Chain A
Amino acid sequence: MQIKDIQKEKRLSGKMKLALLIFIFLATAPLYMSSFRVTMLGKYMCFALIALGIDMIWGYTGILSLGHGVYFGLGAYCMAMHLKLEASDGALPDFMAWSAVEKLPAFWAPFQSSAFTLFSIVLIPVIFAAVIGSLTFLNRIKGVFFCILSQALAFALATFMIGRQEYFGGSNGLTNFTTLFGHAVNDPVTKTVLFYLTLISLIAAFALCMKIVNSRAGRVLVATRDAENRLRFTGYSPAVYKVFVYCLSAALAGIAGALYVPQVGIISPTDINIAPSTEMVIWVAVGGKSTLVGAILGALVVNFAKSLVSEQFPAVWQFFIGALFIAVILFFPAGLISIKDLPAKIRSFIKKRADTGEAEDKKQAGTNAKAKSDNGLFSNKKPVTVTSVKVSKGDGQ
């Protein structure tokens, strides 16, 4: 146990080094990148913020949410409603006029206040998450059922937003903002401030998540992931922890949404629907889950790749992105962050190749045993490493 802890300590420092490098890269980006790329980086940092939250619930607690676009969207819409009111300058927002709405709906009125808006971008996602979380986790809806449910949630909210054009701008979403708390959104200074604000939020969120993960609560979360029933028998209530961490990730997504809107200039139901929600999980998987820094790395790398590849190959870029997802998850189950293990992996692969001849006849049994080791569908155990495969092969014999 002690040895394990020391090893963990070491790994941590490696992760911290990577995190530090990423943050330094981000902080200095405006020095050597065009303003267009910097704005894009700002957007990706918002995504990284969401990814952090998803890593908390998925990587550490074992809940896979395919509907985090919802919380991102709630935060974003709160901010966008405020910006829209600022842009309309006392008049009715333009899309309401097209929809023959005559006066500002009551629930829009509070968003005239910037203070209320700032509270709401955290509170509204959290309240929503608390309701959904209690309805599901307390009733022990878990695993795949939660997964599909969360996906349907994203679909339902997006459909709802589209259907209520008079209140939320329909499929156009909310766009055409002018000022943010009195500062022009297109102004380079505002943009720079927003960029660093996002970076600071990201660092703060990273530090907070690190703190939680390394605290006692963090261990309960991991225990929830690995052996929920045992935890329950020891007297803990996993559901309460689940709701807590779900709300935390919703808050992060909400903040990300609020930072996203002024930088990108639009939020529409497309951005909160199933496809983007699923991609959010993919960022974490690609970067490496249960590491936090992997989530940040994944969000940055995937989105950068997506933008660059789609600029180069506008007609067929989906091939590359799809292939990237498949390749990373297939060959780097622990994410890009595990690239550092690549040399060891290659070595053991060569060794395995040498063994293949004799192992062939036992392969069948091996596969069965492998399947067994993860029979619990959502047990979310640490990805099977090379050594453990060997062990299970031994089992098969």
Chain B
Amino acid sequence: MKNLRSLSLVALTAAVLTMSACGSGADTSSSPAAAGEQTSASEPAETGDTVKVGILHSQSGTMAMAEKPMIEAVQMAIDEINASGGVLGKQISYVSEDGASDAAIFAEKATKLLTKDNVATIFGCWTSASRKAVLPVVEGNNGLLWYPVQYEGLESSHNIMYTAPCPNQQAIPALDYIMENIKPKSGGTVKIFLFGSDYVYPRTTNTIIKAMQPDYGFEIVGEEYIPLGYTDCSTVITKIQQSGADIIVNTINGDSNVSFFKQYRDAGLKPEDIQVMSFSAYEEDIRGMGPEYSDGTLFAWNYFQSIDTPESKEFTDKFQTLYGSDKVTGDPVVNAYEGVYLWKKAVEAANSFDVEEVIKVCESGSVEAETPEGVVSIASGDTHHCLQKVFIGVADKDGQIQSVWETQDRVEPDPWLKSYTWAESAGLGS
């Protein structure tokens, strides 16, 4: 009996060892320098005729519903590029990892992609929390991240490319629209109610809007936040009704949008009484709640599925053929898609997969790609953002957003709000 016991102890330990050896065994096969030293992603990520990239989005947890279409868009872009000959003659292969809606897991998986898989670049992240967690990892391991979601700005990492708008390419033009087009019910100035999820994007965006207030002259009649995933908005809606607001600036992210729109209607509110301007909800969110709830409200983005260009139509058709006819696209999906193409163009211009070379080319301002939203180019300089045209649209009965207003030209990115005097006097930016 005693022998048996020690035998099984040994067996158990052996099992643990084997399991860890599996992990480390895979290491040594992919990187020769795995024995303790930091490996650098600047070493060739390409082997033979393939080049490896990473996709890092949540596939489980609360953010999975938002990030699934992003993965699909990136995969679609990769397949298209492979079908048309690849990048620098190499086929792209990808490693997909699950960030599990948890910032610490995002950091772990990003480290894995960079040090173990040696990927040439990563496409991924949705929440600011996940991006902030991955930022030190890509900076420390000399990686490159293509970030596809509109965010709060006040950031420009050397190792991140932002294909989505920063506040001066979404929130600020949207406020211009509000000032031009929203008629105050009770005379005087426009009354704005700020309502968002409780995290950094809404809070920072609202801080920026508050800083604009002296210049623009609107009135802010309330500011409320609910935790992500919160399902009861009735109290805030009561506050909104009480405040006499003309428009709600909605920066809610994810699931809570459904609760908000359903309960907004349920309280008997209509866009004619209190309009809603959403920054974080797009076609996919509308599909997930049913178009009857968002009908008539406003959305600010750089792309709508309904935009009537051949490129846009072709993209939507392809996406729907691949993933189902009930799927919708929208700004974040397109941003994820165009990230892959911008990376391809940059690699081709640099004639190298080396991260530093690619970044250098991107910063030159010469990288541009044909995308569903038209020609997109990365701005020159070290902001690492793209030039974006801004659209304001109204949701219709079919869940599509129809553009009603657009900026004349593409707006230059200004993540640090350097060109706005009100930002400086409010102490925002650097």
Contact = CB atoms under 8 A, between A and B. Distances in A.
Interface string B10-48: 011100110111111001100100111110000000000
A163 B103 contact: no
Given A34-B115, A304-B23, A162 B227 contact: yes
B199 A176 contact: no
Interface stretch (A24-32, A125-133, A213-221, A383-391): A24-32
B38 A188 contact: yes
A177 interface: yes
Nearest to A102: B427
B120 interface: no
B137 interface: yes
B200 A95 contact: yes
A38 B11 CA distance: 23
Contacts of A165: 198-200, 203
A159 B132 contact: no
Interface in B197-218: 198-200, 203-204, 207
Interface in A213-248: none
Given A14-B5, A172-B103, A342-B8, A98 B200 contact: yes
Interface residues of B, number: 65
Given A25-B13, A34-B36, A340 B4 contact: yes
B9 interface: yes
A14 B7 CA distance: 11
Interface SS of chain A: helix
B295 interface: no
Nearest to A43: B108
Given A172-B129, A343-B4, 15 more contacts: A10-B2, A14-B6, A32-B24, A33-B23, A39-B111, A100-B207, A100-B428, A165-B198, A175-B103, A268-B103, A270-B103, A304-B23, A317-B60, A336-B12, A342-B8
Given A173-B103, A317-B60, A340-B8, A100 B427 contact: yes
A159 B228 CA distance: 9
A34 B22 CA distance: 12
B107 interface: yes
Interface string B86-103: 000000000011101111
Contacts of A354: none
A17 B24 CA distance: 25
Contacts of A307: 23, 108
Given A100-B207, A102-B427, A265-B107, A314 B59 contact: yes
Given A308-B19, A340-B9, A35 B37 contact: yes
Contacts of B225: 163
Given A14-B5, A34-B28, A315-B59, A172 B132 contact: yes
B305 to A, nearest CB: 25
B104 A270 contact: yes
A193 to B, nearest CB: 14
Given A34-B28, A35-B115, A264-B107, A17 B135 contact: no
A43 B111 CA distance: 14
A268 B427 contact: no
Contact of A98 (B13, B21, B111, B207): B207
Nearest to A155: B227
Contacts, number: 188
B322 interface: no
Given A39-B111, A100-B207, A340-B8, A304 B132 contact: no
A173 B129 contact: yes
A170 interface: yes
A294 to B, nearest CB: 11
Interface in A68-94: none
A173 B106 CA distance: 13
A318 to B, nearest CB: 5
Contacts of A310: 97-98, 100
Nearest to B58: A314
Contacts of B112: 36, 311
Contact of B13 (A22, A95, A100): A22
B267 interface: no
B102 A317 contact: no
A62 to B, nearest CB: 27
A171 B199 contact: yes
A17 B23 contact: no
Interface string A293-317: 0000100110011011011001101
A397 to B, nearest CB: 30
B5 A311 contact: no
29 contacts: A10-B2, A18-B12, A32-B24, A33-B27, A34-B24, A35-B34, A36-B111, A36-B112, A41-B20, A98-B152, A98-B204, A162-B228, A163-B198, A170-B199, A170-B203, A171-B228, A173-B129, A175-B133, A176-B135, A176-B136, A266-B133, A270-B103, A297-B12, A301-B16, A304-B19, A305-B19, A307-B108, A310-B98, A315-B98
